[in-house]
Amino acid sequence: MTGFVSFVSAGPGDPELLTLKAVARLGAADVVLYDDLASGAVLDHVRKGANLVSVGKRAGKPSAKQEHVSRLLVDYAATGASVVRLKSGDAGIFGRLEEELDALNAAGIAYEIIPGVTAACAAAAVSAIPLTRRHTARRVQFVTGADVTGELPDDLNWAALADPHALTALYMGKRTFPALAARLIAQGMSPDTPALLAESVGHVDQRLVRTTIAGLVAQLAQENVTATAVILYGALAGTD
Amino acid sequence: MTGFVSFVSAGPGDPELLTLKAVARLGAADVVLYDDLASGAVLDHVRKGANLVSVGKRAGKPSAKQEHVSRLLVDYAATGASVVRLKSGDAGIFGRLEEELDALNAAGIAYEIIPGVTAACAAAAVSAIPLTRRHTARRVQFVTGADVTGELPDDLNWAALADPHALTALYMGKRTFPALAARLIAQGMSPDTPALLAESVGHVDQRLVRTTIAGLVAQLAQENVTATAVILYGALAGTD
């Protein structure tokens, strides 16, 4: 008898942004493996008596633990347990989902993936910014600002990212934004391009800052960058 | 006394992919304005006695009705009603949200936006495709295949869309995919690039076809294209 793994998207942090299916899976699981970013009130939906396992990864930090997480998933499922792997935002977007699927495929363990609300959609909604707009923002792109070492990846498509007619959402990019901004400006993007910093969306310490690319670089130089954030820039509504 | 408008994201169609917040808003509304694509079992959450108004828009078809929808929103809210504007997927992604926000702003009517599960996330989840992958798919982009006349927009960023190291999700693009594919191939993208057609995700008539860009062009030439679909192409898992 083998178990089953549900990859459950926790959404951006507001427990009301869980889907009905996510709530059902949390309520039925024997074991829930969760990250720091997918915790708090979201875990209130886990049934009493379930085994809650923190795997402690944080977006944007080096993680030597991915193999360990995959191993835990396989081991718990092999006991016949119903396992939930809870991931913040949408599980398929910047969640290292591939590695965990590979491990389950190799072990012959069945799984499902429950999609959810990704951080960019939540940040845009709370800021009343449509991510796409007829004529002026027909392309929206999500990109990571941190590779596994925490640095800006050096092989991104800078021309695509510097397109002022797209709206770009940068995940895990608060620390590396100055380096990205330098690349964008070198590609010809205006330093006055609108930008939005959306920090801790849906949490009590939520902060939204509407500025420009240059303004955000200046601001980030003066503060610590530990809070989770999404940065939107480019074709933001009302500005082009 | 003025009313209030909640823009509620209905998700991709599966009523279990509604968020808890969406369910709460549907249950509390006096009036619900909904599109064809955001209907069915999702509307079971609307309280008895509420006014259900179909505004009948369909993605990818010409819509002369946008002004009419905006007018209805303003008029219902002006009566003091609690209005839900239900939009399929995530309200901020290819949902003509901007025009409706503009109308409410002009009329001085307050609103909120509840984010949801966008079609690309749902299609990827049901296909077990991570939308992003470390090293090989660091950028994911969503683009529309239809402008307001239903044709392929002629001012898209073809180079960005032809990047084999990005994963692209094409919304409302089934009919115009052959024209897009010709542009991508002219930009140097291989006709053998992996592609996935995801039709009616989460519905009883769901269909998933894994193919290539050239294969999908050939297939679409032989069938009608009325069903709602998302097309993924580019850096799909396991293929690069």
Closest chain A residue to the Cα of B148, Cα to Cα: A134
Same-domain check for residues B48 and B82 = yes
DSSP E strand stretches across chain B = 4-9, 31-34, 51-54, 82-87, 110-114, 139-144, 166-171, 194-199, 207-212, 229-234
Same-domain check for residues B163 and B69 = no
Same-domain check for residues B124 and B227 = yes
Mean pLDDT within A143-152: 89
Same-domain check for residues A143 and A161 = yes
Same-domain check for residues B96 and B58 = yes
Q: Which of residues 125-164 of A touch B (CB under 8 A)?
A: 125-126, 128-134, 138-144, 147-148, 153, 155-157, 159-161, 163
Pick from B9, B96, B121: which is nearest to A90 by CB? B121
Q: Mean pLDDT over all residues of chain A?
A: 91
Mean pLDDT within A74-82: 96
Give the residue from B52, B84, B114 where a domain finishes.
Answer: B114
Same-domain check for residues B173 and B87 = no
Cα gap A8→B192, rounded to integer Å: 32
Of A35-39, A90-94, B226-230, least confident by mean pLDDT is A35-39
pLDDT tens digits along A167-225: 999 999 999 999 999 999 999 999 999 999 999 998 888 999 999 999 999 999 888 76
Residue B204: per-residue pLDDT: 85
Cα gap A127→B40, rounded to integer Å: 29
Q: Pick the catalytic residue: A14, A30, A35, A90? A: A35
Residue B64: per-residue pLDDT: 47
Backbone angles phi, psi at B84, to 5 degrees: -105, 130
- The count of structural domains within chain B is 2
Whether B99 has its CB under 8 Å from any CB of chain A: the answer is yes
pLDDT tens digits along A103-130: 999 999 999 999 999 999 999 999 999 9
For testing contact with chain B, the best of A100, A113, A170 (most B CBs within 10 A): A113
Q: How far is CA B168 from the centre of its chain?
A: 14
Task: Inspect the interface and report whether the beta carbons of A142 and B147 lie closer than 8 Å.
Answer: no
Pick B71 or A238 by higher pLDDT: B71
Residue A62: band (very low, low, confident or very high) from pLDDT cuts 50, 70, 90:
very low
Q: How many CB atoms lie within 10 A of CB A140?
A: 29
Whether A115 has its CB under 8 Å from any CB of chain B: the answer is yes
The pLDDT of residue A240 is above 50: no
Chain B residues touching A159 at Cβ < 8 A? 159-160
Same-domain check for residues A79 and A144 = no
Same-domain check for residues B137 and B43 = no
Give the residue from A80, A114, A148 where a domain finishes.
Answer: A114
Number of helical (H) and strand (E) elements in chain B, helices listed first: 7, 10
- The boundaries of the domain holding residue B72 are 4-114
Same-domain check for residues B107 and B51 = yes
**Domain harbouring B230, CATH code:** 3.30.950.10
Q: Which of residues 63-92 of A touch B (CB under 8 A)?
A: 90-92
Cα gap A80→A71, rounded to integer Å: 15
**Positions of chain B with pLDDT under 70:** 1, 38, 57-64, 225, 237-240
Mean pLDDT within A145-174: 93
**Domain harbouring B39, CATH code:** 3.40.1010.10
Tokens of B20: 């808890």
Whether A110 has its CB under 8 Å from any CB of chain B: the answer is no
Same-domain check for residues A199 and A94 = no
Give the residue from A91, A114, A137 where a domain finishes.
Answer: A114
Nearest by Cα to A209 from A221, A224, A225, A194: A194
